[in-house]
Amino acid sequence: MRSLRVQLILFWGFLLAACALVAAVIVVLYQTGSGAQVAASQSHATRACEDIATRYAKSVPAAVADAPQADLLRVLLHVVLLEVPQVEGGVWRAGSGMLAYAYPTYEGSSAKVDVPAAEEPLIVQTARESAGAGRPAVNLVRGSREVLIVAACPLAAHPGAAVWTMTRAHSGAIAAQKSLRVGIAVLALLVVASGGWLGWMLLRGLRQVRRLESAFADAQEDTVPRLERTGIRELDRIVDGFNGFGARLQDARARLKEATAQRHRDLRLTSLGRMTASVAHEIRNPIAAMRLKAENALAAPPTRHADALGAIVTQIDRLEGLVQSLLALVQPLNLQPRGVPLGDWLRERLEAARPAAGARGVRLALRGDVSAEAVFDPLHAARAIDSLLDNAVRHAADGGEVVLSATVDAARRRCTLAVEDDGPGVPEALRPQLFEPFATGRADGNGLGLALAREVALAHGGDLHYAPRHADGSGGGARFILELPWRAS
């Protein structure tokens, strides 16, 4: 049960059940307490009645007197009832009526000596039942505020005579019922109030959670949203922690971007140091060739000047190509990424490489997610792929095959372009400096193509790396993998 809503609803149900149980316990306790009071009063009245009859039987055997001794009965009534508060009693005999009466614990201003007129019919009825049946009898009359209890015990020595006792048990029915109703009403009010309170808290919390969810859903893909405080302390702690994390993340991204730019600058400076010697060598050779041709032309007849000038122009073209490649390598790339349909764009790259491939009988193939679309700079990426295809066509076996493939990972938002050939592969000794300028295994190459392709990959926030065509390294062949993020950085 991870849902806050379910937990609160279950808590509310538990609270309702607990209040219902408490109300039931109150009712049971009320009923039990009232009944216990009535039972205790009945027990006191019955026990007093039996005590009087027993003492009288011990004091006056049946053979001594035919008529009950009223004086002795008054004394016994007084002695016994004095020990039982709020119990009155007397002796009744058929045909003679009331023979004795006593109420020693009466709380009035004077002694009470008269049988209560209102209760006398019930007393006579109970005494007659007991005398006629020869066993104790008890009658209860329940009123709104009290229960009237009359008990009678036969006098064994005198047929038709019975001792009776009477008391009242305060049931408190009306007051208790009123208090009970008030208590249950208060409980019900508390349940409704607590339920409303919990419901309000639940709706308020869920409303704030939905607002946070909307903030996350509306956030840009590459940004961390700043959340507004909700007014709920627990949620605000999470909001403050998230905002702090977002601020630290933005700072880390800025530092990473700066470090990446610094790394690129460092790589450029390092490459520039290595490149200086290579550039001097690459420039010295054409200059030396042009000088030699010029000196020979000066010493030769005018008819041979045209051949010398043609050779010099060829060397100049070589120098111009070298300079253009160097400028492309050292100048920063101004990327303009946009959505590119991969199928048409990759076919254009193959068509550009087809004349050179046809000259060597190399087959060109296209594989992978050619129907997908990716986001990058098509112009600079085309320069990188064209350079990789030219390199692959040059190193492929005669009549061999060059494969251009594309893979789009929508989850990681990354596009991977690979160019592979079936040539001998890159020598192990050349791999550490493979993407550095002027690192090449061909006598007629300057090694700037791979360096330029890697610069394009880095500018997009991706990378270019080499891998053998076969994972186990057997069978030869080279594979260059260009990884481009879905969105340029």
pLDDT tens digits for range 405-420: 998 887 777 889 999 9
Question: Among 422-426, 436-440, 466-470, whose mean pLDDT is lowest?
Answer: 436-440
Rounded to whole angstroms, the Cα distance separating 155 from 167 reads: 20
Angle formed at CA 324 by CA 321 and CA 327, multiple of 5 degrees = 150
Tell me, what DSSP letter sits at residue 268? H
Name residues whose C-beta falls within 8 Å of residue 54's C-beta, 6 or more positions apart in sequence.
none
Domain membership of residue 114 (yes or no) is yes
Residue where one domain finishes, among candidates 130, 160, 176: 176
Task: Using DSSP, state whether 232 is helix, strand or coil.
Answer: coil
Is 439 in contact with 433 (CB distance < 8 Å)? yes
Is 389 in contact with 360 (CB distance < 8 Å)? no
Residues forming beta bridges with residue 421, ordered by sequence position: 402, 478
Rounded to whole angstroms, the Cα distance separating 90 from 162 reads: 9
Q: What is the pLDDT of residue 460?
A: 84
DSSP characters over 343-403: HHHHHHHHHHHHHHHHHHT-EEEEEE-TT-EEEE-HHHHHHHHHHHHHHHHHHSPTT-EEE
pLDDT tens-digit map of 40-83: 888 999 999 999 999 988 887 654 556 778 888 888 899 999 99
Alpha-carbon Rg for the chain, nearest whole angstrom, is 57
For the chain, what is the total number of helices (H) and then of strands (E)? 9, 12
Is 15 in contact with 195 (CB distance < 8 Å)? yes
DSSP characters over 307-347: HHHHHHHHHHHHHHHHHHHHHHHHSPP----EEEEHHHHHH
Name residues whose C-beta falls within 8 Å of residue 58's C-beta, 6 or more positions apart in sequence.
none
User: What percent of the chain lies above the pLDDT cut of 90?
Assistant: 18
327-336 average pLDDT score: 64
Residue where one domain finishes, among candidates 176, 194, 209: 176
Domain with residue 136: its CATH number is 3.30.450
Rounded to whole angstroms, the Cα distance separating 209 from 484 reads: 37
pTM: 0.41
Residues forming beta bridges with residue 168, ordered by sequence position: 148
Residue where one domain finishes, among candidates 130, 145, 176: 176
User: What percent of the chain lies above the pLDDT cut of 70?
Assistant: 80
Q: What is the pLDDT of residue 248?
A: 87
Residues forming beta bridges with residue 407, ordered by sequence position: 416
Domain membership of residue 208 (yes or no) is no
The model's confidence at residue 34, banded by pLDDT at 50, 70 and 90, is: low
150-162 average pLDDT score: 89
Per-residue tokens: 158:
């005198």
Q: What is the pLDDT of residue 316?
A: 77
Rounded to whole angstroms, the Cα distance separating 350 from 366 reads: 8
pLDDT tens-digit map of 224-258: 788 888 777 777 888 888 888 888 888 888 888 88
DSSP characters over 256-283: HHHHHHHHHHHHHHHHHHHHHHHHHHHH
Distance of CA 149 to the CA centre of its chain: 67
Rounded to whole angstroms, the Cα distance separating 207 from 200 reads: 10
Q: Is the pLDDT of residue 317 over 70?
A: no
Q: Is the pLDDT of residue 313 over 80?
A: no
74-96 average pLDDT score: 91
Q: What is the pLDDT of residue 319?
A: 66
Q: What is the pLDDT of residue 48?
A: 93
**Domain that residue 126 falls in:** 4-176
Tell me, what DSSP letter sits at residue 416? E
Domain membership of residue 202 (yes or no) is no
Per-residue tokens: 173:
């029915």
- Closest by Cα among 459, 436, 463, 465 to 449: 436
Number of domains making up the chain: 2
Angle formed at CA 339 by CA 338 and CA 345, multiple of 5 degrees = 105
Mean pLDDT, the chain, integer: 80
pLDDT tens-digit map of 184-235: 777 778 778 777 777 777 787 778 888 888 887 777 766 778 888 877 777 7
Domain membership of residue 309 (yes or no) is no
Q: Is the pLDDT of residue 133 over 70?
A: yes
CA atoms within 13 A on the CB side of 123: 25
Domain with residue 370: its CATH number is 3.30.565.10
Q: What is the pLDDT of residue 461?
A: 85
Domain membership of residue 60 (yes or no) is yes
Residue 51 neighbours by CB distance under 10 Å:
19
Domain membership of residue 75 (yes or no) is yes
Task: Using DSSP, state whether 9 is helix, strand or coil.
Answer: helix
Rounded to whole angstroms, the Cα distance separating 275 from 124 reads: 135
Is 97 in contact with 114 (CB distance < 8 Å)? no
Q: Which residue has the higher pLDDT, 444 or 143?
A: 143
287-304 average pLDDT score: 74
State the Cα torsion 280-286-292-294 to the nearest 10°.
Answer: -120
Q: What is the pLDDT of residue 50?
A: 93
Q: Which residue has the higher pLDDT, 274 or 107?
A: 107
Task: Report CA torsion sign: 390, 392, 397, 400.
Answer: negative
Domain membership of residue 51 (yes or no) is yes
The model's confidence at residue 154, banded by pLDDT at 50, 70 and 90, is: very high
Q: Is the pLDDT of residue 153 over 90?
A: yes
The model's confidence at residue 443, banded by pLDDT at 50, 70 and 90, is: very low
Domain membership of residue 35 (yes or no) is yes
Q: What is the pLDDT of residue 46?
A: 94
